[in-house]
Amino acid sequence: MAIDREKFYECEVKRRRVKATGGYEPFWKIKPIAVALEDNDTEFRCKDCGGPVKLYKRRTEDGAASHIEHKLKSDSEYCLAGMHFLKATDGRQSRMSQTPVR
Q: Which residues bind Zn ion (CB under 5 A)?
A: 46, 48-49, 51, 79
Asked if residues 16 and 25 have their Cβ atoms less than 8 Å apart, the reply is yes
Smallest distance, Zn ion to C-beta of residue 60, A? 27
Q: Which of 63, 71, 74 is nearest to 98 (CA)?
A: 74
DSSP character string of 54-94: EEE---STTSPPPEEEES-HHHHHHSTT-HHHHH--S-PPP
Nearer to Zn ion by Cβ, of 31 and 51: the residue is 51
Strand partners, 8: 68
Nearer to Zn ion by Cβ, of 33 and 51: the residue is 51
Smallest distance, Zn ion to C-beta of residue 96, A? 8
Nearer to Zn ion by Cβ, of 24 and 73: the residue is 73
Smallest distance, Zn ion to C-beta of residue 92, A? 14
